């Protein structure tokens, strides 16, 4: 699965999270920071991770979620790593 | 001096049984209507549920809509407010009851006319609670974990804030950004009046100047089935005839849902800024039966309640707004205790549950609002369906140690009207009781 395809899928997830400013979703890149750039409440990160597991048919390790960074590339990396596991 | 401050009710709001906002609620109450309806959500469970009528409120009736999770079926992940009254961030931490509490608070503060600075002050508090948990949220989280064996994170990160005991107070505080007290009082079906009573004391004793206070009971099948299982809900009547306090054919209460919020303010400051005083709270008192009985009402406990409320002052009221649930035992004990204290003449009894059922943790606050409306309208709300009162004495009235009235309930027919009555109303006593033997009473008066 291409990284850009994963990012597009993540944006689809973010569109379902109403506490994120939807106007900021037009230019999401690997360097976009969920918390700094999208103003995502930190409590929503676990919801995004859980939705990513379902959308990409993967299961994250709890330790990996604990260590997850707040940039888009961090979750893209985790999805790819989990796909390969 | 501490403890001498008077307290005014300067605003009201809420979500009311039958899916009504405050103005609709007032209009229908004084038109003598019943707000109880057949409940499809209960009917869907067929014979597994004994009672199928309810004073419920749908999401659409409060102009909100659940957004269901894409990963957890039937889980209302958050809500949309179609009228744009509450920001998305606040909606994401709220169950339906907390949303009702925020809407009611917004309405009450608007009517009170508090400025942003006053609302956000250290002297402004939030005191409100409910009788049960955030069942509709917990339902999903527990089902996923225990039955479907899923990871906890599938329930999302808002199970705690949307279900904790003081979730309504917490959500309202985050919504209005006050800096004073934020707490919830829990006392079963006396919760609504208990919260307003506690808030009254905080202002009376100078701890806060303003408080939004009240009670909430969100529409929940879990709450409903708990009482249904106890066989204490009304059965065998059409929806509008099912809640019948004091009627000889009463056989249980109607489980209803709602939210009542009042804005309280120290009387002198409210007067000084020209606020409209809807009512003055004269006194509040609460106690425990002390007889070790979880469910059965106590004649002695209720008499002590009245004595605590009035102290050395004469027992006087134009209307007694009773708890009056429509249960065989509760109504009789309550009417006899009221008559024992107040006598047989000179006042009326109002049992608003006859119109909208028992809103449980919201009851004390919703019914306090109905009492304030009686002061405003100078009308006594009816006791619907009180067609024939008991003509037989209760068993306990025939025992040797009974010290109360020795007449049957039918002797007090003249105190209970099935129709709206117009009369001068200056003072109303509000009564509510709860499981565990908790009793609450409040006196409110017109500001004249």
Angle of helix A45-55 versus helix A3-14 axis, rounded to 10 = 130
User: What CATH code is assigned to B7-279?
Assistant: 3.40.47.10
β-strand partners of B53: B38
pLDDT for B227: 97
H or E stretch covering A49: helix A45-55
Mean pLDDT of B204-223: 97
Among the residue ranges B17-31, B81-95, B136-150, the one predicted with the least confidence is B136-150
| Window from B60-69, B148-157, B188-197, B203-212 with minimum mean pLDDT | B148-157
Is A46 within 8 Å of B153 when comparing Cβ atoms? Answer: yes
pTM assigned to the model: 0.96
Instruction: Tell me the pLDDT band of B73, cut-offs 50, 70 and 90.
Output: confident
Contact, B217 vs B132, CB < 8 A? Answer: yes
* pLDDT tens readout for residues A8-57: 999 999 998 888 888 899 999 999 999 999 999 888 999 999 999 999 99
Measured between CA atoms, the residue of chain B closest to residue A44 is B157
Delimit the domains of chain B by residue range: 7-279, 284-399+408-445
Q: According to the model, what pLDDT value does residue B271 have?
A: 98
d(CA B198, CA B194): 6
Chain B residues at the A interface, defined by Cβ less than 8 Å, are: 67, 70-71, 77-78, 80, 88-89, 91-92, 151, 153-154, 156-158
The answer to whether the Cβ–Cβ distance between A18 and B158 falls below 8 Å is no
Quick count: other Cβ atoms within 10 Å of Cβ A28?
Answer: 17
| Topology agreement, domain B7-279 and domain B284-399+408-445 | yes
| Contacts with B438 (C-beta within 8 Å, 6 or more apart), sequence order | B187, B188, B190, B194, B286, B287, B288, B289
Determine contact: A63 vs chain B, CB below 8 A: no
So what's the pLDDT on residue B1?
Answer: 46
A residues 2-61 near B, CB within 8 Å?
16, 18-19, 41, 43-47, 49-51, 54
CB contact under 8 A, B154 and A46: no
Question: Distance between CA A81 and CA B25 in Å, rounded?
Answer: 58
- Do residue B158 and residue A49 have CB atoms under 8 angstroms apart? no
Instruction: Round the average pLDDT of chain B to a whole number and report it.
Output: 96
State the average pLDDT over residues B234-248.
97
Single out the residue of B383, B46, B103, B407 nearest to residue B246, CA to CA.
Answer: B383
Give per-residue pLDDT as tens, B367-397. Answer: 999 999 999 999 999 999 999 999 999 999 9
> Per-residue pLDDT averaged across B58-62, rounded?
98
Confidence label for B2 from pLDDT (cuts 50, 70 and 90): low
From the list B77, B80, B89, the residue facing A41 with the nearest CB is: B89
Q: Do B80 and A18 touch (CB under 8 A)?
A: yes
Query: Across the strands, what pairs with B288?
Result: B438
pLDDT of amino acid B235: 95
Quick one: what percent of chain B has pLDDT higher than 90? Answer: 95
What is the per-residue pLDDT for B25? 98
Per-residue pLDDT, averaged over B258-271, amounts to: 98
B284-399+408-445 has CATH 3.40.47.10 classification: yes
Write phi, then psi, for B361 (nearest 5 degrees): -65, -20
The answer, yes or no, to whether residue B345 has pLDDT greater than 50, is: yes
Chain A residues inside the 8 Å CB shell of B91: 18
Residues of A in contact with B141 (CB under 8 A): none
Show residues of chain A in contact with B156, CB under 8 Å: 46-47, 50
């Amino acid at each position: 699965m291409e990284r850009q395809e994963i990012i597009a899928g993540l944006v689809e997830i973010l569109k379902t999270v109403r506490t994120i400013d939807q106007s900021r979703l037009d230019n999401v890149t690997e360097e976009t920071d969920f918390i700094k750039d999208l103003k995502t409440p930190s409590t929503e990160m676990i919801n995004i991770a859980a939705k990513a597991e379902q959308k990409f048919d993967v299961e994250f390790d709890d330790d990996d979620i604990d260590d997850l960074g707040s940039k888009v590339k961090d979750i893209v990396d985790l999805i790819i790593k989990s796909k390969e596991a | 001096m501490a403890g001498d401050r008077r307290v005014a009710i300067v605003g009201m709001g809420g979500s009311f049984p039958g899916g009504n906002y405050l103005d609709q609620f007032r209009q229908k109450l004084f038109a003598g209507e019943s707000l109880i309806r057949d409940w499809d959500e209960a009917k869907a469970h067929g014979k597994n549920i004994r009672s199928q009528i309810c004073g419920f409120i749908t999401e659409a009736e409060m102009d909100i809509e659940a957004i269901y999770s894409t990963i957890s079926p039937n889980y209302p992940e958050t809500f949309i407010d179609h009228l744009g009254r509450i920001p998305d961030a606040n909606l994401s931490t709220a169950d339906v009851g907390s949303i009702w509490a925020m809407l009611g608070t917004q309405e009450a503060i608007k009517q009170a006319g508090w400025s942003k600075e006053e609302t956000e002050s250290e002297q402004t508090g939030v005191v409100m609670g409910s009788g049960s948990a955030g069942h509709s949220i917990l339902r999903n989280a527990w089902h996923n974990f225990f039955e479907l064996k899923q990871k906890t994170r599938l329930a999302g990160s808002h199970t705690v804030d949307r279900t904790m005991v003081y979730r309504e107070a917490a959500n309202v505080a985050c919504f209005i950004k006050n800096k004073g007290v934020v707490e919830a009082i829990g006392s079963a079906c006396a919760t609504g009046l208990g919260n307003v009573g506690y808030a009254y004391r905080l202002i009376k004793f100078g701890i806060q100047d303003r408080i939004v206070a009240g009670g909430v009971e969100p529409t929940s099948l879990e709450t409903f089935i708990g009482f249904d299982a106890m066989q204490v809900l009304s059965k065998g009547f059409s929806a509008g005839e099912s809640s019948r306090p004091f009627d000889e054919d009463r056989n249980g209460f109607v489980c209803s849902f709602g939210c009542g919020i009042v804005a309280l303010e120290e009387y002198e400051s409210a007067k000084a800024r020209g606020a409209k005083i809807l009512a003055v709270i004269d006194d509040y008192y609460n106690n425990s039966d002390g007889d070790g009985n979880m469910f059965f009402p106590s004649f002695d406990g209720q008499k002590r309640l009245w004595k605590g409320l009035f102290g050395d002052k004469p027992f006087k009221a134009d209307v007694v707004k009773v708890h009056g649930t429509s249960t065989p035992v509760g109504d009789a004990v309550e009417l006899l205790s009221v008559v024992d204290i107040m006598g047989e003449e000179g006042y009326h009894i109002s049992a608003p549950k006859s119109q909208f059922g028992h809103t449980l943790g919201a009851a004390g606050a919703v019914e306090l609002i109905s009492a304030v409306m009686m002061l405003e309208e100078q009308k006594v709300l009816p006791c619907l369906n009180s067609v024939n009162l008991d003509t037989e004495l209760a068993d306990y009235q025939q025992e040797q140690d009974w010290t109360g009235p020795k007449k049957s309930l039918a002797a007090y027919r003249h105190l209970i009207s099935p129709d709206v009555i117009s009369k001068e109303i200056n003072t109303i006593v509000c009564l509510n009781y709860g499981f565990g033997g908790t009793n609450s009473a409040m006196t409110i008066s017109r500001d004249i």
